[in-house]
Chain A
């Protein structure tokens, strides 16, 4: 913080002085912020959900107070003006904003029209608009897609189109509010590459909020960490990321490479950084090489890794049997989403299904729960053909918790929300009440039973959706993207619930996810889908070892596992899958 205040303000483009903001409902979202950004800097803003990151974005871009009202004290300057004083269309010419959800930001029929929309509203001459559109699309690498409907693009392409639309307005400051949080790994990579190009090619100031510290470590010039509206850490990536414990304490995931690097330096007593060395420049090879050197010198010694949970024996009964499953979405033209998938899931397994959007993961699961009727092939759940079962019969067997809980919540209280499914099954009132209490207790929402579901946080709404599913007492629980829109602390809450469900009740769990660390941490079997087929199926160790095949499906093993593979010669077990595993095995003094 002090470093920030000492910064020369002559070329400051964003300044916040003693800024406190309170929403109309009385929630204080930002407190006493004093921050400065210089022209051309890339600032990364970190913090748990509710820390004030989005509010900061809204304040800088004029969304506050013009769309969301509230009370502000202190001074805000963006490119020499206070956004509070100007209408949004004036602020938008200095400060562009990109939001999380690409879908809602795209409303024009073609990519070209989308990108031209902003400058056209500002009455920029047509020739200049055409030049800007070409320039912005080149920056985000969407040349050639000018005439495509933005809705037909992939997630990453959509977000890049939305980014181009902001860039075409030629802002001096670009505010990005978790721009990769709703994308698959490929989409995230595409957006991050676009940001690298932006940083390299333009004198643009970028302020980006995120939970994905691994993605932005090498982009950041400054890092701010917010907690309950206060800036509790600020400085260069070296200053901030050198404090992994402090980051963990405020709910921020330390970047894996920096975390491991600092850990081994501390364990060996070596200096954290040599002359001219920067944490932001680290890569897997460098960290592995440093660890190898210290292991070779005997300055750190591998520790044993606790035994992993043994997968259930193949003799256990199959709960899901999928045979030559084909699913074709009707349309013009029809799209074949599953191309002859066969698999068996046994009782008590914890399976992770990974793959890019469009690889067939969700279609497979929808066929299993009976939401889609297979075009060809068979799906059997607990020995019964799915197409012969009613929705109610299936709900007792398989529970699917969708990514967005808001698609299902509609009653006046959490209790009623859980009762809804039980009533549909015709469960007697007394038993239903007992199940409601048990389900609420299971997810830790017993004190929220009478609360209107939409007053709960997103994380709690997802827990409520899990409770509503568990109350139906399914034999198989399926979680669709359990880490979506969750911060570092909340990231594993649903997976933890699933793990307990499996361990205490002996049931089967399937997770669909893009989060490699999540799969590494919980799943004992990983299925990789690609182009409507199963590309890989095995233990996490087996699957993550197939780097070539993973690469083909645009997936990357967890960073910790990549480092561990490079340290195999030093006795580092290949079972190391998570950052925690790696820190444990590299943890011992000689």
Chain B
């Protein structure tokens, strides 16, 4: 199984942007979704920002399949949110489906309401907006550039390296997870065909336990590999790569800020 959101080496305009520029885009995305956007009328605000993200994904020539993978990962959460809000939203008036009267905490949880589903939908779109920005940063910025950028920010060496090595470890964890699942399937442990409840109850011990034990071992080897490369040395490491902001970065930041302001204006006019 491929790690869906690892760095993809390409020569595109997005790849060439300074990591700071892309970090600003991520930061603005997170700020946008912190604004209260619960009403379905605010959907265009999020769609505009999602449009910007889609343009960036396209400019970075990232395959549609990767975005589909992101949707697949989040689909369960979206369905849960819409159902949970649909049944529990206390201000829901338009009943879509009624299973009965079951009043709890000020709402009738026996009814699925349109307003509740819409609230769940808006929460889902906000999550999607946030989730589409970070992979873009990770997929278009190499770890070396991230390290260089974090060094420029004068962040502590350990923090920088922990962040970057966590990204590296992700692919290792994916690989180990798949190997463990395969090994247990070979012993007639059919996790794929289990009911969700059974899976939660039974399936994860035979998978998580070896994963944790292996991770402990790998972490030890990793420490050896790091320390024997002088990682514990005092002082800041030599900066191999120096990054500079170019006119295209300022232009991009200008566009991001302009779209952000537009979204905010729209939010308060709708």
Contact = CB atoms under 8 A, between A and B. Distances in A.
Interface of A: 61-63, 66-67, 87-89, 92-93, 96-97, 99, 101, 103-105, 107-110, 113, 116-126, 129, 147, 149, 151, 165-166, 169, 330-332, 366, 369-371, 390-392, 395-396, 399-400, 402, 404, 406-410, 420-421, 424-425, 454, 468-469, 472
A469 B186 contact: yes
Nearest to B185: A391
Contact of B214 (A97, A103, A406): A406
Given A107-B168, A108-B144, A469-B186, A406 B213 contact: yes
23 contacts: A63-B224, A67-B223, A88-B232, A89-B227, A92-B229, A96-B228, A99-B221, A105-B225, A107-B225, A113-B143, A113-B144, A119-B230, A124-B238, A149-B9, A370-B185, A371-B182, A371-B185, A371-B186, A391-B188, A391-B190, A402-B182, A410-B210, A425-B188
Contacts of B193: 390-391
Query: Which 4 A-B residue pairs are closest in the complex by CB-CB distance?
Result: A421-B187, A121-B230, A109-B143, A410-B209
A366 B178 CA distance: 13
B230 A169 contact: yes
A125 B240 CA distance: 9
Given A99-B225, A116-B240, A109 B187 contact: no
B235 interface: yes
B44 interface: no
Contacts of A371: 182, 185-186
B179 A117 contact: no
B187 A121 contact: no
Given A107-B164, A149-B9, 6 more contacts: A93-B230, A332-B65, A400-B186, A402-B183, A469-B187, A472-B188
Given A104-B222, A424-B188, A408 B183 contact: yes
Contacts of A107: 164-165, 168, 222, 225-226
A121 B229 contact: yes
Nearest to A390: B190
A121 B8 contact: no
Nearest to A369: B186
B184 interface: yes
Interface in B192-230: 192-193, 205-206, 209-210, 213-214, 217-218, 220-230
Contacts of A109: 7, 142-144
B240 A113 contact: yes
A89 B237 contact: no
B9 to A, nearest CB: 7
B94 to A, nearest CB: 42
Nearest to B179: A407
B238 A120 contact: yes
Contacts of A169: 229-230
A86 B144 CA distance: 30
Given A109-B7, A123-B238, A390-B190, A408 B227 contact: no
Nearest to A88: B227
A129 B230 contact: no
B53 interface: no
B63 interface: yes
Contact of B142 (A66, A110, A118): A110
B163 interface: no
B180 interface: yes
Given A63-B228, A107-B222, A113-B240, A395 B186 contact: yes
Contacts of A89: 227, 230-233
A472 to B, nearest CB: 7
Interface string B165-186: 1001001100010011011111
Nearest to B226: A107
A396 B187 CA distance: 9
Given A109-B7, A110-B144, A129-B238, A332 B189 contact: no
Contacts of B9: 147, 149
B101 interface: no
B98 interface: no
Interface of B: 2, 7-9, 63, 65-66, 142-144, 164-165, 168, 171-172, 176, 179-180, 182-190, 192-193, 205-206, 209-210, 213-214, 217-218, 220-233, 235-241
B198 to A, nearest CB: 12
A151 B228 contact: no
A126 B205 contact: no
A407 B144 contact: no
Contact of B229 (A117, A330, A425): A117
A332 B8 contact: yes
Given A63-B228, A66-B227, A108-B143, A121 B185 contact: no
Contact of A92 (B66, B182, B217, B230): B230
B189 A391 contact: yes
A478 to B, nearest CB: 10
A410 B206 contact: yes
A81 to B, nearest CB: 15
A370 B230 CA distance: 45
A121 B237 contact: yes
A332 B66 contact: yes
Contacts of A62: 228
B186 A149 contact: no
Contact of A392 (B190, B213, B240): B190
A103 B142 contact: no
Contacts of B184: 408
A165 B223 CA distance: 16
A425 B190 CA distance: 10
Given A88-B232, A107-B165, A121-B231, A402 B238 contact: no
Contacts of A396: 188
Contacts of B218: 104
A111 to B, nearest CB: 11
A407 B188 contact: no
Given A123-B235, A407-B179, A420 B240 contact: no
B82 to A, nearest CB: 29
Contact of B187 (A105, A124, A408): A408
Contacts of A165: 229
A362 B242 CA distance: 43
B224 A67 contact: yes
Nearest to A424: B188
Contacts of A421: 187-189
A234 B103 CA distance: 84
B240 A120 contact: yes
Contacts of B205: 410
A169 B63 CA distance: 39
B183 A407 contact: yes
Given A123-B238, A129-B240, A424 B230 contact: no
A395 B184 CA distance: 10
Contacts of B233: 89, 121-123
B189 A420 contact: yes
A391 B194 CA distance: 12
Contacts of B187: 395, 408, 420-421, 424, 468-469, 472
B191 to A, nearest CB: 9
Nearest to B192: A391
Contact of B220 (A67, A97, A151): A67
Contacts of B186: 369, 371, 391, 395, 399-400, 402, 408, 469
